[in-house]
Chains A and B, each alone.
Chain A
Amino acid sequence: MSDILKGNFTPKKQVTKPDDTIDDDSIESKFKKAALNSIGGSMVYVERTDLTWDGEE
């Protein structure tokens, strides 16, 4: 947890950075970033994770 407000006085309420939102550094997100950055040539990145047809058009 870290303070996200910085200033020259102490505010009434402390605002902290929730642990689970501290930088999304999961393998999946790292891979997505790296893949999108190297698109070109035969490199493609499939954004969808679900290709199941649910019957609706």
Chain B
Amino acid sequence: MAKILFINPVVREEDVPRHIPYGIALLAAIAMKEGHLVQVYDANAHRLPLDTIIEVCQADDWDAICIGGLTTTYNYIKKACKLIKESAPNAQLIAGGGFLTSMPHEIFEWIPEIDVGCIGESFVTFPEVLKKIDNKDVNYSDVLGVIHRDLTGKSFLTNIRPNIKDLDTLPWPAWHLFPLDIYFANSSNLFSEESFTSKRRMDINGSFGCGLTCKYCWHLGTTGDMLVEENDNGENDVVFTYGRNIRYHSADYIVSMVKHLHNEYDIDFAAFIDENLMTMDVASKGTWLKELCKKWIEAGLQPTCRQQGIPHDENCKGVHWNGTSHAGLHRPETLKLMYEAGCTHLVYGLESFDPTVLRNLGKGSNARKNKQSIATCLASGIKPIPNIIIGFPEESFESVRNTIEALVELGITAKPHFATAYPGSEWYYAYKDSIMEQYNQDLEAYIMDLGDASKITATISHEFSPMQLLGLQQIVYLKDLRLLDLSEQHWAPVQEKLTPVIQPKMSFNLKTVKEAGPLAS
């Protein structure tokens, strides 16, 4: 059996480690189930000097060293791969996750140390790659869903791996291989009183994907949104679509997992990291969340404050939880049940209150629904956490005004994020050329610059420059319509005479059609 080392890269260096990596923990569990020998080095949790990787890589004779994460971990992964190859040259270096799936050929060019990469959903691909390594066969050309190299280092993408059909066949993630105390020490967050007082929070994932098509969002094959097709040079490349393979765990699977976490690790809070709980509920014809809440309560996970109708305090027992919602898809009766079962807050990606912006966004919401959603959610007892963005392609003084007016009306103070084109999103492919112009044609420099969208990297606003967007962010934060009027008075006449520097383009990697990738039978 193969000896495997997993490395969890550092993410958001400016913040403390908050999330046990769900994907890595799941793949570690799958590898162990297949009989492999597994070790985990959680660099994100430990925050040790980078070259600790050398010691870790020399701790055994690894057959495979696996690394992966979202695009925002790219900087660490790039440096880590160099050290890994130098200190464990005989191990196969396997990469996976969003950073690779969104741009497999580019990543293979920029990080020559990677031997093989799992593209999109890896639950079946990864154990197949391990089996090959175990058999000392490193010709990956017959494994679906991978990117690999020939002897010259040139990258090749094999055909697409079908998504699995039944998520309940997956084992529970191997949480015990991670330094849980470090994560528990950072359980508390500022979204609700219950989450603020949480001492033992863990993440759970009930579903994969979302039925909507927001232009800034990426799913990277996990929703059935990915195909592999030949490009003009006759080479396979990834193509992202509006296709969907909607899948969610049964309420029984989720509740028994949380019950296990409660009994084993004494968790007091479960954070659903699902992309959008409400779109899953819609896919189940409104039954999924209701069943989940009912079974949560039956399993004895309902917090005592909710059970007894008393304010939450430090004596509260049970498991509170949170998730994501949608302004147009939530229902008051479902929210009420969610509150009773212990839901404390829901993140609503409202983004804007401008009709044009919302119409073009692919979110399936509008300004009226956005406004109502706050009141509907508050009425259930759950705290809404609205997310606001500025710098949309069609952002204008008028759209910013619409957002500020709504924030004033709803009593929301928000320092908006900047519209950012993350790899894998529709915006990224549409604006890739403009982004490269802003980074002197160095795409890798852009990838290395990406953070959590609280700073401007590349703008995709047709009308506003970075200087203006920084000012507008402050004006939205202050909800100062007078300053907005003054700015418009100065700039609007000038902008009428300027041609936009940012322009969308067609891209091979994006097809705006509802063509889903294959689903295993």
Which residues from chain B contact A13 at a C-beta distance below 8 Å? 55, 58-60
CB-based contact A4/B48 at 8 Å:
yes
Per-residue B-contact encoding for A1-37, CB less than 8 Å = 1, 0 else? 0001111110111110110010100000000000000
B153 at interface, CB cutoff 8 A = no
21 contacts between A and B (CB under 8 A): A4-B42, A4-B56, A5-B40, A5-B41, A5-B59, A6-B39, A6-B42, A6-B177, A6-B178, A7-B38, A8-B32, A8-B37, A8-B177, A9-B3, A9-B38, A12-B60, A13-B59, A14-B59, A15-B56, A18-B48, A23-B47
Known contacts A5-B56, A13-B55; 5 further A-B pairs (Cβ under 8 A): A5-B59, A6-B39, A8-B32, A11-B39, A12-B59
Complexed CA–CA distance, A23 and B61 (Å): 29
B139 at interface, CB cutoff 8 A = no
Complexed CA–CA distance, A5 and B493 (Å): 61
Q: Interface size on A (CB < 8 Å)?
A: 15
Which residues from chain A contact B40 at a C-beta distance below 8 Å? 5-7
B176 at interface, CB cutoff 8 A = yes
Tell me the smallest distance from the CB of A33 to a CB of chain B, in Å: 9
Interface residues of B in 109-159 (CB under 8 A from A): none
Complexed CA–CA distance, A21 and B46 (Å): 9
Q: Is the interface of A mostly helix, strand, loop or mixed?
A: loop
What residue in chain A is nearest B477 (Cβ atoms)? A40
CB-based contact B61/A4 at 8 Å:
no
Complexed CA–CA distance, A8 and B29 (Å): 10
What residue in chain B is nearest A9 (Cβ atoms)? B37
B52 at interface, CB cutoff 8 A = yes
List 5 A-B pairs, minimum CB-CB distance, nearest first: A7-B39, A11-B60, A13-B59, A6-B177, A9-B37
Per-residue A-contact encoding for B51-66, CB less than 8 Å = 1, 0 else? 0100110111100000
Which residues from chain A contact B179 at a C-beta distance below 8 Å? 4, 6
Q: Is the interface of B mostly helix, strand, loop or mixed?
A: mixed
B49 at interface, CB cutoff 8 A = yes
CB-based contact B48/A11 at 8 Å:
no
For chain B, the bracket of interface size reads 20 to 34
Which residues from chain A contact B3 at a C-beta distance below 8 Å? 9
Which residues from chain B contact A6 at a C-beta distance below 8 Å? 39-40, 42, 176-179
Complexed CA–CA distance, A12 and B60 (Å): 5
Which residues from chain A contact B60 at a C-beta distance below 8 Å? 11-13
CB-based contact B56/A8 at 8 Å:
no
What residue in chain B is nearest A16 (Cβ atoms)? B55
Which residues from chain A contact B5 at a C-beta distance below 8 Å? 5
What residue in chain A is nearest B46 (Cβ atoms)? A4
Which residues from chain B contact A15 at a C-beta distance below 8 Å? 41, 52, 55-56, 59
CB-based contact A21/B48 at 8 Å:
yes
CB-based contact B49/A8 at 8 Å:
no
Complexed CA–CA distance, A54 and B27 (Å): 54
Complexed CA–CA distance, A18 and B5 (Å): 20
What residue in chain B is nearest A3 (Cβ atoms)? B179
Which residues from chain B contact A21 at a C-beta distance below 8 Å? 48-49
Which residues from chain B contact A7 at a C-beta distance below 8 Å? 37-40, 177
Interface centre among B39, B41, B46, B56 (most CB of A within 10 A): B39
CB-based contact B49/A5 at 8 Å:
no
Complexed CA–CA distance, A20 and B60 (Å): 25
Complexed CA–CA distance, A4 and B53 (Å): 11
CB-based contact A11/B59 at 8 Å:
yes
What residue in chain A is nearest B181 (Cβ atoms)? A2
Q: Which of A4, A9, A11, A12 contacts B52 (CB under 8 A)?
A: A4
Complexed CA–CA distance, A18 and B49 (Å): 10
Complexed CA–CA distance, A13 and B308 (Å): 53
Which residues from chain B contact A23 at a C-beta distance below 8 Å? 47
CB-based contact A12/B61 at 8 Å:
yes
Which residues from chain B contact A5 at a C-beta distance below 8 Å? 5, 39-41, 56, 59
Tell me the smallest distance from the CB of A34 to a CB of chain B, in Å: 13
CB-based contact A8/B38 at 8 Å:
yes
Complexed CA–CA distance, A8 and B3 (Å): 10
Per-residue A-contact encoding for B453-479, CB less than 8 Å = 1, 0 else? 000000000000000000000000000
CB-based contact A17/B48 at 8 Å:
yes
Which residues from chain B contact A17 at a C-beta distance below 8 Å? 46, 48
Which residues from chain A contact B47 at a C-beta distance below 8 Å? 23
Tell me the smallest distance from the CB of A17 to a CB of chain B, in Å: 6
Complexed CA–CA distance, A7 and B2 (Å): 13
